[in-house]
């Protein structure tokens, strides 16, 4: 499953004076809070971040003592928004019916990795899960003498990174354009009027993807690459999205967007494995290692440019 890792710099402030502190102090502050307030559960620590009159927020902490803080952060969701179903009978039922949600609940979660040495937070963008702001709950609840300020690390003009690189080459172009009219859809696909109306009743997007045959490159030199990028830029107001897959000297092949304002990095989180033609879905415990490895990879792959952009 494709996901994105977003990156933020963290600044530490004194709550009374609002003076900025050295972000390197954050490591010791967090260690003290975790060791004093977290509960040991199996082989990790659990820190309650819940506030009064809110559903629960929790941080499951897997590493915090050395270079990184690595944790799973989750927020409780009302159980009434979910169903349990027995697929042998197709009979639905409520989830945790009759259970006091103050005591038990279901949660949506994501993972975060904080490099103490740079003060850079990497967090997986997960729909409905907590955002980077939940990290401030740690100090807000357990040491209100300090607070955190987060700044998204900007994308250095996105496409300009590859545009200004040495020997850039493009291997794929993907452009999202406005959905064609019913007349064009009819001409292209031979759909009937009813079929067109049914399709247009849904949310649609139209994407054009171009790539060379036999895994070759679309552009062969810097002039061709930059000329093609300039051509796309000149028509950018006509597109909903536009990106190219490209590489350059010292930069591996990856996607570059013409629209993204903040720096992000795509990762792939598998949900299952196949053994002897049987699909086995990963458990929540399996995914801890998968997310950790992907977060560390995403951060390490981009550490140099992240430090450069953020001056860390």
- Given a cut of 90, whether residue 182 has pLDDT beyond it is no
Mapped onto helix, strand or coil, the DSSP state of residue 180 is: coil
CA–CA distance, 239 with 234 (Å, rounded to integer): 11
User: What pLDDT does residue 201 have?
Assistant: 53
Q: Is the pLDDT at 99 greater than 70, yes or no?
A: yes
CA dist., res. 94 & res. 169, Å (int): 53
- Cα–Cα distance between 247 and 237 in angstroms, integer? 25
CA–CA distance, 244 with 223 (Å, rounded to integer): 16
Residue 2 pLDDT exceeds 90: no
Cβ proximity of 287 and 269 under 8 Å: yes
- The tokens for 211 are 């790539």
Q: For 261-293, write each residue's pLDDT tens digit.
A: 788 888 999 988 898 888 888 998 999 999 999
Query: Which one-letter DSSP state was computed for residue 67?
Result: S
Helices (H) and strands (E) in the chain, counts: 7, 18
User: For the purposes of burial, counting CB atoms within 10 Å of the CB of 169, is it exposed (0-12), middle (13-18) or buried (19 or more)?
Assistant: buried
More confidently predicted of 45 and 207: 45
Name the least confident of 46-50, 183-187, 191-195. 191-195
Percent of the chain residues past pLDDT 70, beyond the cut? 94
Structure-model confidence comparison of residues 104 and 259, the more confident one: 104
Out of 94-103, 147-156, 194-203, pick the least confident.
Answer: 194-203
Q: Report whether 10 contacts 119 (CB < 8 A).
A: yes
What is the C-alpha end-to-end distance of the chain, expressed in Å?
31
Q: What is the mean pLDDT of residues 115-130?
A: 94
Q: What is the mean pLDDT of residues 253-267?
A: 84
Average pLDDT, the chain: 88
The predicted pLDDT at position 167 comes to 92
- State the pLDDT at residue 204: 67
| Pair of tokens at residue 279 | 């699909």
pTM, rounded to two decimals: 0.69
94 vs 287 pLDDT, higher one? 287
Confidence of residue 156 (pLDDT cuts 50, 70, 90): low
Whether the CA torsion 299, 304, 309, 312 is positive or negative: it is positive
With beta carbons less than 8 A apart as the criterion, state whether 77 and 128 touch. yes
Mean pLDDT over 128-137 rounds to 90
């Amino acid at each position: 499953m494709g996901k994105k890792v977003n990156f933020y710099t963290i600044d530490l402030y004194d709550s009374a004076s609002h003076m900025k502190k050295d972000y390197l102090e954050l490591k010791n502050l967090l260690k003290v809070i975790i060791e004093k307030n977290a509960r040991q559960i199996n082989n990790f620590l659990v820190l309650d971040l819940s506030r009064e009159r809110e559903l629960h927020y929790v941080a499951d902490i897997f590493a915090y003592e050395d270079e990184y803080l690595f944790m799973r952060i989750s927020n409780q969701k009302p159980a009434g928004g979910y169903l349990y179903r027995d697929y042998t009978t197709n009979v639905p039922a409520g989830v945790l019916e009759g259970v006091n949600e103050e005591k038990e609940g279901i949660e949506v979660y994501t993972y975060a990795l904080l490099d103490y040495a740079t003060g850079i937070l990497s967090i997986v963008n997960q729909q409905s899960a907590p955002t980077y702001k939940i990290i401030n709950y740690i100090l807000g609840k357990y040491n209100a003498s300090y607070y955190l300020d987060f700044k998204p690390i900007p994308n250095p003009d996105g496409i300009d990174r590859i545009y200004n690189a040495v020997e850039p080459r493009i291997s794929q172009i993907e452009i999202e354009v406005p959905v064609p009219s019913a007349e064009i859809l009819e001409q292209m696909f031979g759909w009937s009027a009813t079929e067109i109306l049914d399709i247009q009743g849904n949310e649609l997007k139209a994407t054009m993807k171009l790539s060379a045959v036999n895994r070759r490159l679309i552009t062969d030199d810097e002039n061709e690459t930059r000329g093609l990028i300039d051509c796309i830029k000149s028509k950018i107001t006509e597109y909903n999205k536009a990106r190219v897959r490209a590489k350059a000297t010292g930069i591996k092949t990856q996607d570059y967007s013409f629209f993204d304002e903040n720096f992000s990095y795509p990762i792939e989180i598998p949900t299952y494995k196949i053994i002897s033609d049987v699909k086995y879905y990963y458990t929540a415990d399996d995914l801890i290692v998968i997310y950790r490895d992907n977060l560390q990879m995403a951060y390490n792959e981009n550490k140099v440019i992240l430090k450069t952009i953020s001056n860390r």
